[in-house]
Chains A and B, each alone.
Chain A
Amino acid sequence: MSLFIAFCSRAQLREQKVGEIAVQAQKQNEKRIELNSSKIDRNIIQELQPEDLGFLLQKFPGVALKSYGGLGGLKTFSVRSLGSQHTATVLDGFLLQNTQVGQINLGQIPTNSIESLRLGTSNYQVLSPISALFRGNELAISTFEGSTAFNAVKVRLSSKFGSFGQFDEYLALQYSQERIGITLHGKYRKSEGNYPFRLKVLNYTYDGVQKNNQLEELYSGVTLFFRPNTMKQPIRLIYRNTFIDQGLPGATVLYNSYNKQYLNTVQHSLSADWTDKYGLAKVRYYGSYQYDNQIYTDSFYFNQANLLRKVYTQNNGNLGLSLSKNKFGELINFYGGIEERYAQLNLGNQNLIVPERWQTYANAGLKINEKKFLLDLRLGYQFVLERDSVDLSFNQRHLFAPVLNLESKEIGRLNWKMSVFSASTSRLPSFNELYYSQVGNKQLKPEEAKQVVLSNGISKSFKKWFFTSKIQIYYNHITNKILAIPTKNLFVWSIQNIGTVHASGVDFVQSVQIQPNENWNTTLTANYSFQRSIDRSSDLSPSYGHQIAYTPQHTANIDLSIYRKKTGIRFSSIYVGERFSLNENIPMNLLAPFYTFDLSIFQRFTIKSKHQFNLQFQVKNCADVSYTYVRSFVMPGRNYLLSFNYEL
């Protein structure tokens, strides 16, 4: 280790010190409240030590997580009752795509390297791909691998050991000179995952140990960035790969704990972009290719081979450019762009149908940045061509996405801000929904979402403390909701556009930071969300007027961190209110509310002002609460994590 530190010390020649400056900048940022999005930065992520992105997302207001297990388990989410397909997941400026199921598994996005995480209504930024503007929300993930700093040497190292055989190692090295740089990263994670659980079914409890939950992951990649003489911004080239082998414990079935399902995942992605200036215009060119291969096996399957093996291969690619140009100083900003996307799914020898999709996006927007307000208007147009290898005729779709955002500037001593956001967006049916075996329906229309969000926020900084407070009231109207329903009998299901949901609610976000002197620093953050998401699909249905499945009316979280110099403790809690496993709101479908909290103790220390270390011990689910997000999918009880981080 000392040799390693010595090497890094020599190599780091010209990088600026960021310590106190960063803290001050952060304070400044926190004063400026962002109404239409919320952000979590690296410091908080490090304190939380989340096992994956799914856990982190619960810290945002309005998010309902569906977790199908602990480490490695599938995790999806909805934002204000808009399913995860309505949220664009953007990693370092590139849209992550899974056209097969339409949603990204948050359990497969590592958190070790995340620098910041932002969730909010879709908003044009130079680094956002144009396709992300067509979704209702955007989750923007910035990682260390995606960052570019010149004349620097940076190192990120983290090592974790936890309960249930968890072992997690991550290392990233960034080395750059004046015009060129490289970042190498790798992560290996392994877990036996055999956690004990207590499942409550009605008033009865069932104790067991989660089996077939082993996980082995390897993530690695390289980022090259260089800055030709003519360009001020660098060209980035990012390659990432992922290899995951995991058991699938599935639902806990009473009296039957035997299970032999496995999933093998291989992903490769190559992304490139650069941003350049032409006079007052800023243009970003970008493109990416993503290859996904998943092999699912079930060796308890009673067919002739006594084995079910399914192979899914996806190819996704895109090319695009976005541009932005200011007029009259910063008073008027024109922005827009175009993007072309291609997606293909291959089901190996199980199905001869190979669906393909071409999407052309075009977007034009105008921002008026007045002294007292910011008006943002944009219109998106999407042209979609779809076909499959059996029926070669093209299916065409034309979709529009108008968006309006009117936001005031800070008013008065409390820096009061308010905004109105309105958008009409849609999500396309996934390939599974269109083509899967006999269930798919090629006539499906896109699921449409209209949202209106009214936001209000204040922030105030005093000598020794500051606070921010935000309240958002929203109404979402979702039509043509895509649902699977049985047609003739239990064997013949079909996907149909039959659902209508009216969702309304309120999100509160409060944050207070107190710094009585230079030794002490306390931050308290609290979120509360109320959601009323009502099924309005058919008044003949017994669930008409009921709260839709897996949407708690009440969710909340409270986090408290206390620092004294470089020693700290963090209390982090989550409350998920009662919800129903099916749309019919009856006691048999009720899932119990739960409240869990984690406690972390950490010690940070610095050597030669460059080498920053963090040693942390964390107890997760301290109260050993038995809970499930999804019916019968049990979550781990109390568990422990020891982590060590090094940063240069």
Chain B
Amino acid sequence: MNYNLFKMRFLIFAITALFVVSCKKKVSAPVQLNSTKLENCILVLNEGLFQQNNAHLSKISLNPLEINNLFFEEKTGRPLGDTGNDMQVYDGKIFIVMNVSSTLEILDEKTGVSIKQISMVENGIPKQPRYITFNANKAYISCYDGYVDVLDLTLLAITNRIKVGANPEQLAIANDKLYVANSGGLNFPNVDSTVSVVSLSSEVETNKITVGKNPGPLLVDSQNEVYVISRGDYSSIPSRMHRISSVSDSKIQSFPFEASGFCKMKHDLLISYVDGSLNKILKFDTQNESVVSIDCIDVSSISTFYGMQYSTWNDKLYFFDANGYVNTGYVFEYESNGSFVRKFNVGLIPNKVLIYE
């Protein structure tokens, strides 16, 4: 064969081969969305791991028992995203705060169908939303860039940004004011120590209350008093719980026990703390500000304690087991009197539940 002719054929063959293989494109199969009404089930937000896009919403059907870790994907036709930080229900909608994806997912409470995804990006900078709370027709979302975003629930759009302290975490409303725990965690070890007070009418920070280093968990009790936990430096500065008056906007008490996290159960607070290497639950009466029990619920079977939640819907307690953070976690269900009911194996790092009767 003529050498040049061979080269030409060789080249044509190679180029043709490239085009043949390159025409093949994979397209994902269309997803059948369903709007079945949610009932007799539990929705669990699984936080997932940083930068792994593996946050999931699990649906635990209770009768018969069935666990579907891809509930969000099946309802919306797309993944939830990265690091699900908070999930709350308000005004017939489920709000899921996605921290690393910087989105707010809004779903229909009855069906779980997506209503809207709001991108939490400001001038090309992801705001890293953390927690959400509600009042009247507005939602307030703490963002790690030092602001609280105001979401109009009619427009489903961000209408204002309120400047607060560094790296705000949990937030709650009392006496028509918004209280925001400013952790300053990204300035570690020079963390923040304050709680911002924001006027809901003017949407402006009006005061800052110094509590203790690295405040994070925050809630309001049945008497409109604000409780906040300062987490210290996880080493020599211990964590503490503080009580704030929403009338005087001042810290009125710091409690001399360690506190990692808490949740409200009727008039009590359940406070988790670490005793040696064991997690324990302390019951605290908010009406007379006293400790009821320092070890009220046995949670020793939880391998990696990651929080708790009380449901007023069914008067049950839910404890979250992150199971080493790199394994699928568990949701433990307890009666409010502290007796264990059952546990459910869900996704990675469960941190919130919603109960459907």
A and B found bound together = yes
Task: List the interface of chain A (C-beta within 8 A of B).
Answer: 198-206, 250-256, 258, 300-304, 438, 485-486, 488-492, 540-543, 564-565, 567, 569, 581-584, 586, 588-589, 599, 601, 619, 622-624, 626, 631-632, 638
| A486–B349 alpha-carbon span in the complex (Å) | 13
B338 contacts the other chain (CB 8 A):
no
| A301–B22 alpha-carbon span in the complex (Å) | 40
B123: nearest residue on chain A (CB-CB)? A258
Option from B28, B98, B100, B186 in Cβ contact (under 8 Å) with A203:
B28
Option from A206, A303, A438, A490 in Cβ contact (under 8 Å) with B166:
A303
B14 contacts the other chain (CB 8 A):
yes
* Inter-chain contacts of A253 with B (CB < 8 A): 51, 53, 81-82, 100-101
Q: How far is the CB of B56 from chain A (nearest CB, A)?
A: 7
Told that A302-B144, A541-B324, A564-B6 touch, could you supply 13 new A-B pairs with CB distance under 8 A?
A: A203-B31, A251-B53, A258-B121, A300-B126, A303-B166, A438-B234, A486-B322, A489-B274, A542-B327, A542-B328, A564-B10, A624-B22, A638-B22
Known contacts A202-B73, A588-B69: A256-B126 contact under CB 8 Å: yes
A567/B29 in contact, CB under 8 A: no
A586: nearest residue on chain B (CB-CB)? B328
Known contacts A542-B327, A542-B328, A601-B14: A588-B28 contact under CB 8 Å: no
Q: How far is the CB of A139 from chain B (nearest CB, A)?
A: 29
Q: Could you give, for residues 296-322 of chain B, a 1 whenever the CB lies within 8 Å of some chain A CB and a 0 otherwise? A: 000000011110000000000000001
| A419–B305 alpha-carbon span in the complex (Å) | 51
| A476–B15 alpha-carbon span in the complex (Å) | 45
| A632–B83 alpha-carbon span in the complex (Å) | 13
B235 contacts the other chain (CB 8 A):
yes
B143: nearest residue on chain A (CB-CB)? A302
B167: nearest residue on chain A (CB-CB)? A302
Known contacts A255-B81, A567-B10, A619-B18: A543-B101 contact under CB 8 Å: no
| A252–B274 alpha-carbon span in the complex (Å) | 36
A569/B77 in contact, CB under 8 A: no
| A438–B235 alpha-carbon span in the complex (Å) | 9
Can you list 27 A-B pairs, Cβ within 8 angstroms, ordered by A? A203-B29, A204-B77, A251-B52, A253-B81, A255-B81, A255-B98, A255-B102, A255-B119, A256-B101, A258-B121, A301-B186, A302-B146, A486-B322, A486-B324, A490-B325, A540-B303, A542-B323, A564-B6, A564-B10, A582-B327, A584-B326, A601-B14, A622-B17, A622-B18, A624-B25, A631-B52, A632-B53
- The dominant DSSP class at the B interface is loop
B224 contacts the other chain (CB 8 A):
no
* Inter-chain contacts of A205 with B (CB < 8 A): 26-28
| A558–B303 alpha-carbon span in the complex (Å) | 46
| A304–B185 alpha-carbon span in the complex (Å) | 11
Residue among B53, B78, B126, B303 with max Cβ neighbours from chain A (10 Å): B53
B323: nearest residue on chain A (CB-CB)? A542
| A619–B21 alpha-carbon span in the complex (Å) | 12
Instruction: Classify chain B's interface size.
Output: 35 or more
* Inter-chain contacts of B3 with A (CB < 8 A): 565
Known contacts A301-B186, A303-B187: A583-B28 contact under CB 8 Å: no
* Inter-chain contacts of B11 with A (CB < 8 A): 601
Known contacts A256-B102, A300-B125, A582-B327: A623-B81 contact under CB 8 Å: no
| A564–B4 alpha-carbon span in the complex (Å) | 12
B22/A201 in contact, CB under 8 A: no
A201/B53 in contact, CB under 8 A: yes
B18/A599 in contact, CB under 8 A: yes
B117 contacts the other chain (CB 8 A):
yes
A493: nearest residue on chain B (CB-CB)? B325
B260 contacts the other chain (CB 8 A):
yes
B325/A486 in contact, CB under 8 A: yes
| A203–B303 alpha-carbon span in the complex (Å) | 32
* Inter-chain contacts of B274 with A (CB < 8 A): 488-489
- The dominant DSSP class at the A interface is loop
Option from A204, A258, A541, A601 in Cβ contact (under 8 Å) with B79:
A204
Q: How far is the CB of A517 from chain B (nearest CB, A)?
A: 13
A490: nearest residue on chain B (CB-CB)? B325
A488/B101 in contact, CB under 8 A: no
Q: How far is the CB of A583 from chain B (nearest CB, A)?
A: 7
Q: Could you give, for residues 257-271 of chain B, a 1 whenever the CB lies within 8 Å of some chain A CB and a 0 otherwise? A: 000100000000000
Q: How far is the CB of A253 from chain B (nearest CB, A)?
A: 5
B103/A599 in contact, CB under 8 A: no
Closest 6 CB pairs of A and B: A251-B51, A303-B186, A254-B81, A255-B101, A201-B79, A623-B21
A622/B22 in contact, CB under 8 A: yes
A581/B234 in contact, CB under 8 A: no
* Inter-chain contacts of A631 with B (CB < 8 A): 52-54
Within 8 A of A (CB), among B7-25: 7, 10-11, 14, 17-18, 21-22, 24-25
B29: nearest residue on chain A (CB-CB)? A203
A632/B51 in contact, CB under 8 A: yes
Option from B22, B27, B166 in Cβ contact (under 8 Å) with A623:
B22
B348 contacts the other chain (CB 8 A):
yes
| A255–B95 alpha-carbon span in the complex (Å) | 17
B17: nearest residue on chain A (CB-CB)? A599
A601/B10 in contact, CB under 8 A: yes
| A202–B74 alpha-carbon span in the complex (Å) | 11
A600: nearest residue on chain B (CB-CB)? B14
B212 contacts the other chain (CB 8 A):
no
* Inter-chain contacts of A569 with B (CB < 8 A): 10, 14
B69/A599 in contact, CB under 8 A: no
| A254–B105 alpha-carbon span in the complex (Å) | 13
A486/B126 in contact, CB under 8 A: no
Within 8 A of A (CB), among B273-305: 274, 303-305
B124 contacts the other chain (CB 8 A):
yes
* Inter-chain contacts of B29 with A (CB < 8 A): 203
Q: Could you give, for residues 199-214 of chain B, a 1 whenever the CB lies within 8 Å of some chain A CB and a 0 otherwise? A: 0000000000000000
* Inter-chain contacts of B82 with A (CB < 8 A): 253-254, 256
* Inter-chain contacts of B21 with A (CB < 8 A): 622-623
| A438–B52 alpha-carbon span in the complex (Å) | 24
* Inter-chain contacts of B215 with A (CB < 8 A): none
Within 8 A of A (CB), among B31-89: 31, 49, 51-54, 56, 69-70, 73, 77-79, 81-82
Residue among A491, A492, A540 with max Cβ neighbours from chain B (10 Å): A491
* Inter-chain contacts of B230 with A (CB < 8 A): none
Q: How far is the CB of A74 from chain B (nearest CB, A)?
A: 14
| A175–B28 alpha-carbon span in the complex (Å) | 58
Q: How far is the CB of B166 from chain A (nearest CB, A)?
A: 7
| A199–B323 alpha-carbon span in the complex (Å) | 28
A619: nearest residue on chain B (CB-CB)? B18
| A485–B49 alpha-carbon span in the complex (Å) | 14
B26/A626 in contact, CB under 8 A: yes
A201: nearest residue on chain B (CB-CB)? B79
| A386–B53 alpha-carbon span in the complex (Å) | 39
B347 contacts the other chain (CB 8 A):
yes
B125/A582 in contact, CB under 8 A: no
B193 contacts the other chain (CB 8 A):
no
B152 contacts the other chain (CB 8 A):
no
B128 contacts the other chain (CB 8 A):
yes
Residue among A252, A255, A599, A623 with max Cβ neighbours from chain B (10 Å): A255
A258/B126 in contact, CB under 8 A: yes
